[in-house]
Copies of this chain bind each other. A is one copy, B any other.
Amino acid sequence: MIRMNTWHLPNGFRFAGIHSGLRASEPGRLDLALIVSDLPAVAAGVFTQNRVCAAPVHVCRERLPANDVRGIVVCSGNANACTGQQGLDDARRMTALAAGAIGVDAKKVLVCSTGVIGRLLPMSVMEAGIPKIALALAAGSDALERAARAILTTDTRTKIRTRALNGFCIAGFAKGAAMIGPNMATMLAFVLTDASIDVTDLAAIAPVAADRSFNCISVEGHTSTNDSLIFLANGQGAKLKGAALEQFRQAAIEVCAELARDMASDAEGASHLVTIDVVGARTDAEARVIAKTVAESALVKTAIFGADPNWGRIVSAAGYAGVPFEERQLSLALGDFLLYEKGTPLPFDAAAVSGYMKANRELTMRLTFTLGAGRCTFYTCDLTYDYVRLNADYTT
């Protein structure tokens, strides 16, 4: 059998993905994942900024950063969010079950969940499923792919990105297709490496990687209760200091950025992946605010779905982003078509622009300001009938 993907896998990690029965109505669908590090791993995480945050997020926050993480147990189909004290007890019980199954202390295991909010976890399913998944743990790409599949919700495909560097590998996998807003969203991402890194260095890299990747995508701007990005580094490979640390940092950012783009590309119901480049803003932060505002405009997103070159919606969305500018300081291009130059509309061939929008699944819009050197590349998708259909009936 020829593999389409050759993953560069870090040493010392094992994976599993099984059907535990949490998704009772979908027999055989993988719904429980387990990641195990054979040696204690340095670990750091970045979590949702939502004030309403899921029980597993509370548990991970308590335990990170850490020097001795041995595993992460993840269920999909139930978010264990808005579940009160019972939810917290259940999340801790999941870590105890996984820890028992692999023979470590409960506090050395982390937990993530994704799915419907506001329902208590059926713990009998977890009591049976978690010991069972431990028996399925294996190293290698097939096991990784099963784990990556088991965390998916409405995603249509797994999201895995890896890198081989000088003396270590990085493997990342993620899920997320809706409830995706900047500042992390319904997304889970796990980045594993066999490099040896100090916990303070890893804890410093994690938020930067999140900021340059998952915080630069939006499906509909709804920040989830469950967002989690967790790094594990088990120290079996090269020791990261100086240039090697910087190399790791860059590679970690790249892996996260690729996973983030994979999410925007697989967004619920999307028919276009849209890259929004904002350049010439006062600062990178202002560029991101503008890009995010354009990315989240339902009017921009429906126009893209309809291949309608209604560029006034883009310019007007930039205008209400809360960033001060004058119209003469803004130009807009859609693909190669310059539509608006320093505050003045240009004549353009509407049929040609619409044709560009129809013919390409991936579109680019560029907002060029004359304010400074601030820039941001942001990814979003269009708003389609299928997005409405998928979200009009999710729990019932």
Instruction: List chain A positions with a Cβ less than 8 A from chain B.
Output: 49-53, 79, 81-86, 116-120, 178-179, 181, 183, 220-225, 296-299, 302-303, 305-306, 308-313, 315-321, 323-327, 330, 339-340, 343-345, 350, 354, 383-385, 387-389, 391-396
Q: Determine whether the beta carbon of B316 is less than 8 Å from that of A225.
A: yes
With A220-B297, A306-B392, A354-B396 known as contacts, the answer to whether A51 contacts B312 (CB < 8 A) is no
20 of the cross-chain contacts (CB-CB < 8 Å) are: A51-B324, A51-B325, A51-B327, A52-B315, A82-B345, A117-B312, A220-B298, A222-B299, A223-B316, A223-B319, A303-B395, A306-B392, A306-B394, A306-B396, A308-B395, A310-B395, A310-B396, A350-B396, A384-B388, A385-B389
Residues of the B chain whose Cβ atoms lie less than 8 Å from the Cβ of A324: 51
Known: A117-B313, A309-B396. 14 other contacts (CB 8 A): A49-B320, A51-B325, A51-B327, A84-B327, A117-B312, A118-B339, A118-B345, A181-B320, A222-B320, A225-B316, A298-B391, A302-B391, A350-B396, A385-B385
Shortest distance from the beta carbon of A25 to any chain B beta carbon, whole Å: 15
Residues of the B chain whose Cβ atoms lie less than 8 Å from the Cβ of A392: 302-303, 305-306, 308
Residues of the B chain whose Cβ atoms lie less than 8 Å from the Cβ of A344: 83-86
With A82-B327, A118-B345, A392-B303 known as contacts, the answer to whether A183 contacts B312 (CB < 8 A) is no
Q: Determine whether the beta carbon of B319 is less than 8 Å from that of A225.
A: yes
Residues of the B chain whose Cβ atoms lie less than 8 Å from the Cβ of A327: 51-52, 82, 84
Q: Determine whether the beta carbon of A393 is less than 8 Å from that of B308.
A: yes
**Which residue of A315, A323, A326 has the most chain B CB atoms within 10 A of its CB atom?**
A315
| Bound Cα distance from A339 to B117, whole angstroms | 12
Residues of the B chain whose Cβ atoms lie less than 8 Å from the Cβ of A396: 306, 308-310, 350, 354
With A81-B316, A315-B117 known as contacts, the answer to whether A323 contacts B388 (CB < 8 A) is no
- Copies of this chain present in the complex amount to 2
Residues of the B chain whose Cβ atoms lie less than 8 Å from the Cβ of A220: 297-299
Q: Determine whether the beta carbon of A116 is less than 8 Å from that of B320.
A: no
Q: Who on chain B is nearest to A391 by CB?
A: B302
Shortest distance from the beta carbon of A222 to any chain B beta carbon, whole Å: 5
Shortest distance from the beta carbon of A45 to any chain B beta carbon, whole Å: 19
Q: Determine whether the beta carbon of B299 is less than 8 Å from that of A178.
A: yes
Q: Determine whether the beta carbon of A393 is less than 8 Å from that of B117.
A: no
| Bound Cα distance from A49 to B321, whole angstroms | 10
